[in-house]
Structure 1
Amino acid sequence: MESLDGLAAERVDHRFKGLPPDADGLTVGELADQRRNLFTGGFTTPVLALSAERLEHNLRLMETYAARHGLAFAPHGKTSMAPQLFRRQIEHGAWGITLAVPHQVRVARAFGIERVFLANELVDPAALRWVAAELAADPAFRFVCYVDSVRGVELMDAALTEAGAPRPLDVVVELAAGEGARTGVRTEAECAAVADAVAATRTLRLTGVAGYEGEVPQATPERVRAWLRRLVALAGEFDRAGRFGRTDEIVVSAGGSAWFDAVADVFAGIPALSLPVLKLLRSGAYVSHDDGHYRRLTPFNRVPGEGALAPAFRLWTQVVSRPARDQAFVNAGKRDAAYDLDLPVVQAVRRDGAEHPADQLEVVALSDQHAWLRLSSAADVEVGDWVALGLSHPCTVFDKWQLIPVAEADGTVVDYIRTFF
């Protein structure tokens, strides 16, 4: 098993974008101990930074939110794939970590994560053999994954039987978010058929129901709540039918980063069932939040009394060309910034140690290594200026950076976050 201390012992070199060239050969821990300044400490542009203060604020806010609403919390780790952040999330009360594919589970297990919710179907025999071995080696390891077809159950049973799995693997039936949505069983009758297929095996144990409300077609608060009520009703139907007879708790799980207020509201009304209910929320993008998609859609916009998440990313770039009065280019593009949901937004210009507003600048396009800036006639920007970009969609920000400085408000870098995509 790897340790977080082992990450600090990794050597800094050319693999890691934006870090000071003169830091080559230092360990990550030694570089962090130097507490270099992001702007004067030799970092090269483009360089992505996480705000130390905002990161901590977001961790505390969601810990408080989940506790206030009686929710267990398994944030989606695919957002960051950063074991240091997994550990901090657990320290802030998380039940465990949600992941999406076997590689991600292997990363989590390598760093000692004991509870994993795989929000996906798992039918790969090699991955199932590995999971069986993990279950055999560690009695404390709790692993839960989706099932959504009788065929999938048959494949899982065959692989686990061949592997000699020592204890049943916990599964939840995934209820689809509607016709035309992503994975999941479309009807309650089909859900029952999948549950019955699970019951016919000795390698699987039905422990609940789950799904992802973010896939509800043409989502509105009413549509999302209606689907969540279907999910809760399905748990009740399964319980009355005795389908949870082999488990000691019933898992009911949902919760992306756009509708967790609806999840909290509907899950608060889950009636008493025959076993304790684990109401498991899985929102993950909160850890860094963003300046685009999730900032617009965060439930805290609908319920401001609950608090407010803070965008924690800034991508610092540099103006390398201003070929026309109304045009400039900075040296970060698709290789550095998320662009699948929104283009970056210009937040500030930094020159001679001072930061200035940037409301006269707009990113209008991205090339591989350049962002195209459109300037108003009043824009004050020169070649050499540093330009801060706010980013949208954390999942596709983290995956472009292997080692991310964590900087305090004055630019002091106090830590580095290692990612594993």
Structure 2
Amino acid sequence: MSETRFSSQPINLKTKGLGHLNADAQCGDVASQNWNILREDVSLPVAVLREERINHNLAWMRDFIGRYGLKLAPHGKTTMSPALFQRQLDYGAWGITLASASQVNAAFQCGVRRVIMANQLVGKANMAIISKLQREDSGFSFTCIVDSADNVAALGAFFSVQQQTLRILLEYGVAGGRTGIRNEQQEAQILAEIARWPDALALVGVEIYEGVMKDEAAIRTFLRHALSRTQALAERGLFAEPEVILTGAGSAWYDVVAQEFTLATPYLDSAQRYTLNVVLRPGCYLTHDVGAYKQANERILANNPVAREMNGSLLPALQVWAYVQSLPESGLAIVGLGKRDVAFDAGFPQAALHYRPGADFPPGVADSEWRIFNMMDQHAFMAIPANADIRVGDMLAFDVSHPCLTFDKWCQLLLVDEQFQVTDLVATWF
């Protein structure tokens, strides 16, 4: 990882999850503070990233994608942390995926120069952000998706005035899903509108998002449809560049996308004008989780031959530590973390580790019967057995479900080693 780009970034001292720092502290100062979570050097609650597991997950996904001969543009909205983007790029990512013009700007300001915006670029202010970035660096590679003639017309008019070319991907979708073209009439209208702006718009590929679907057979049918439409567009000579992007894959079905899209022939068209560049976009692999993505990982390990041949699998790397705050009645512990600290939309956090400050032994595995069943803004209600060995002041580490909605609750997260010594800090730019 390139340290110089982020080490001089100021630390926000007005937020949570930090130890004592001088007023002018920078990110690069954190490692020298000798903080340790177990020594209570840091205010809890605190969100931490297990660095050894992060590196394992980075290497695992790099190797998985590499075995299929594909490229990776992980979705940056998961972490919105340019320092983590850099780690992903250092582990071979082709680019970074983002969801909005403001996210693209944040990544650009921190050095990211190849972006897929897996969303429509709508509105003049958002278009102006992208135009400015393209003007600032002619080497900036940006693509966004389109699924309507109205949006294409607005983009064409705007970038024509700017005397710039915007690279776009045609998005296909499914009935009842999210965005994307549903039928041939919509496709024809969009293609006709793109043709009106030959200098302002360049069609460079096709995009899909399969994560709105739950049935594997239906997903495979949809992926084959997207591939067939890509080939049909290539036969008509409609792509503006010889290397055509075909991109999909959230964090739940990337294995199926990899399998289906590697079935494409080296050339998309009979005239051999176009080759295919398949780019997958999972984002949550970096930290993994103990909810939906754990279930997806179990399916992948059971069904995917490439994953089975690899050593190990993805590991949960994001944890939130908090104190037991109150034991007001038998069978109930109140923990000092809440909806302001950790995701709860896809399942409550799960107690993973238990530590009593001052103990001369490492944290133990939390009792499987300790279960959070309700959360408020700053409190979690945890059911415990009546005879549980738990005290006010004990420290608990919680694994999370849906890491995206934990990251966005923290301005900064601490990286820790396996002894919970703080090794670094990463900032988020939500």
TM-score (norm 1): 0.94
Aligned partner of 1:344: which letter?
P
Superimposed CA distance per residue, residues 297-322 of structure 1 (whole angstroms, 9 cap, x where no aligned partner): 23345335144100001111101100
Aligned-residue offset at 1:49? 0.7
Matches within 5 A, 1:405-420: 405-420=414-429
Who is 1:180 aligned against? 176
Secondary structure of 1:171's match?
strand
The equivalent position to 2:413 in structure 1, one of 401, 404, 407, is: 404
Find the counterpart in structure 2 of residue 59 from structure 1: 58
CA distance in 2, matches of 1:151, 1:129: 18
Give distance in 1, aligned partners of 2:116 and 2:171: 13
Deviation at 1:198, TM superposition (A): 1.1
- Could you tell me how far apart the structure 1 residues matched to 2:76 and 2:413 are? 16
Q: Which residue among 391, 397, 405 is the counterpart of 1:382?
A: 391
Is 1:220 aligned with 2:215? yes
Q: Compared with structure 1, are the counterparts of its residues 41 and 28 closer, same or farther at alpha carbon in structure 2 (3 Å cutoff)? A: farther
Return closer, same or farther for 1:342/1:106 CA change in 2, 3 Å cut-off: same
CA distance in 2, matches of 1:184, 1:259: 18
Number of the residue aligned with 2:108: 109
Q: Secondary structure at the match of 2:320?
A: strand
1:159-198 matched pairs, under 5 angstroms: 159-165=158-164, 168-176=165-173, 178-198=174-194
Relative to structure 2, which stretch is displaced further, 101-110 or 5-14? 5-14
1:234 matches 2:229: yes
Deviation at 1:192, TM superposition (A): 3.2
- Contact persistence 2:244–2:276 (CA under 8 A): yes
Secondary structure, aligned partner of 1:21: coil
For 1:100, give the aligned amino acid.
A
Could you tell me whether the CA contact under 8 Å between 1:18 and 1:47 is conserved in 2?
yes
The answer for the alignment partner of 1:204 in structure 2 is 201
> Using the alignment, how far apart are the partners of 1:30 and 1:135 within structure 2?
34
Give the match's secondary structure for 2:30. helix
Deviation at 1:191, TM superposition (A): 1.9
Q: Which amino acid aligns with 2:230?
A: A
How far 1:31 sits from its partner (Å)? 2.2
Q: Partners in 2 of 1:302 and 1:77 — Cα distance? A: 27
Comparing 9-18 with 314-323, greater Cα deviation is found at 9-18
Q: Which residue of 1 aligns with 2:83?
A: 84
Identify which range, 86-95 or 353-362, moves more after superposition: 353-362
Determine which of 345, 360, 368 is the counterpart of 2:350. Answer: 345
Tell me which amino acid in the other structure corresponds to 1:51: R
Query: Any stretches of 5+ residues in structure 1 without a counterpart?
Result: none
Deviation readout 1:321-376 (Å, 9 max, x if unpaired): 00111001010000001011111111121113342332231000111000100012
Q: CA deviation at 1:106?
A: 0.3
Letter in 2 for 1:30: D
Q: What is the CA–CA distance in structure 1 between the aligned matches of 2:202 and 2:151, rounded to whole Å?
A: 14
Aligned residues: 413
Do the aligned residues in 2 keep the contact of 1:4 with 1:111 (CA within 8 Å)?
no
State the alpha-carbon separation in 1 of the partners of residues 333 and 230 from structure 2.
56
Aligned to 1:315: 320
Q: Distance in 2 between matches of 1:406 and 1:419?
A: 13
| 1:388-417, Cα deviation, whole Å (9 max, x unpaired) | 111011111111111111000001111111
In structure 2, the residue matched to 1:99 is: 98
Aligned-residue Cα RMSD (Å) equals 1.6
Specify whether residues 11 and 113 from structure 1 end up closer, same or farther in structure 2 by C-alpha distance, changes over 3 A only. closer
Distance (whole Å) between structure 1 residues aligned to residue 143 and residue 389 of structure 2: 54
Could you tell me whether the CA contact under 8 Å between 1:22 and 1:42 is conserved in 2? no
Distance 2:3 2:132 in 1: 23
Could you say which residue in structure 2 is the equivalent of 1:15?
Answer: 14
> 2:254: which partner in 1?
260
Matched, 1:356 2:364: yes
- Structure 2 vs 1, CA of residues 21 and 75 (structure 1 numbering), >3 Å: closer, same or farther? same
In 1: Cα distance, 2:136 partner to 2:301 partner: 42
Alignment match of 1:372 (pick from 358, 362, 381) = 381
Alignment partner of 1:238: what SS? helix
Relative to the length of structure 2, the TM-score reads 0.92
Tell me how far 1:134 sits from its aligned partner: 2.1
Deviation at 1:29, TM superposition (A): 1.5
Query: 1:255 touches 1:282 (CA, 8 Å); kept in 2?
Result: yes
Q: Secondary structure at the match of 1:109?
A: helix
Alpha-carbon offset, residue 24 of structure 1 = 5.0
- Give the counterpart of 1:330 among 331, 335, 351: 335
Structure 1 residues 289 and 417: alpha-carbon distance in aligned structure 2, compared to 1, 3 A threshold? same
